[in-house]
Amino acid sequence: MPPLTRIVLVGPPGAGKGTQATRLAGKLSVPHISTGDLFRANISRQTALGKRAKVFMDAGHLVPDELTIEMAKDRMRQPDAENGFLLDGFPRNVWQAEALDELLKTEASKLDAVLDLEIPEGEIIKRIAGRRICRSRSAHVFHVSYSPPRKRGVCDVCGDELYQRDDDSEETVRKRLEVYYTQTEPIIEYYKMQGLAVTISSLGSVDEVTRRALEALKREDDDE
């Protein structure tokens, strides 16, 4: 059987989704398509879609579903995505998942798998709330548990102060998780009903999680 190449990656904040998306896309030789990159690229190129998205982003609002879908459709039709893609951050709710299904039908295509990165809530909070960033322009990153600086609150590289970003506070992390549980997590059940979702643990080293993901995708392929 051919390898799985049309994949959606799902996971809560702190699950390492961005890191794994980049690694898996490279190993599968497909483009990594993230909503954040889509928004930035369209805004940078001043496309019609980008101009519309910028209005919402400048006002601090989420980009509407319809606009997100249009950007994703445009990106998936690019030549490098002809043989597959890895979607990261899209779909973010069931309505978008349904719209993606309809979009792929019009392209005579379909998803191969939905990879769900599972991680305990306590570990998510520990990972994100423990991050400390250097105030220098280089913004070196440390972690109070996993990669602490030699001297508390001081960057090993340049000696500048380390601080916790507002969006890394435990309170903010819990709010982000609530949004995930309410809006995004339901798509996992939606895809399970289609037999597409496979869940793996995102605990462990980056390499371990990547191996776990590739093995899960291979099993899904073997089950076809």
Contact by Cβ (8 Å): 170, 86: no
Active site residue 176: yes
Catalytic residue among 92, 127, 132, 212: 92
Please give the Cα distance from 222 to 224 (Å, whole number).
5
CA distance 39 to 187: 22
Q: Is 165 known to be catalytic?
A: yes
Q: Provide CB contacts within 8 A for 10, sequence distance 6+.
A: 17, 114, 115, 116, 117, 184, 187, 188, 197
Closest by CA to 64, choosing from 29, 32, 31, 90, is 90
User: Is there a catalytic annotation at residue 92?
Assistant: yes
Catalytic residue flag (residue 131): yes
Q: Give the Cα separation of 112 and 1 in Å (integer).
A: 12
Could you say which of 165, 175, 218, 219 is catalytic?
Answer: 165
Is the distance from CB of 165 to CB of 131 less than 8 angstroms? yes
DSSP 92-151: -SHHHHHHHHHHHHHTT----EEEEEE--HHHHHHHHHTEEEESSTT--EEETTTB--SS
Candidates 6, 23, 131, 212; catalytic one: 131
Annotated catalytic residue, options 6, 17, 75, 132: 17
> Does residue 40 carry a catalytic annotation?
no
**Catalytic residue numbers, as ranges:** 17, 92, 131, 165, 176
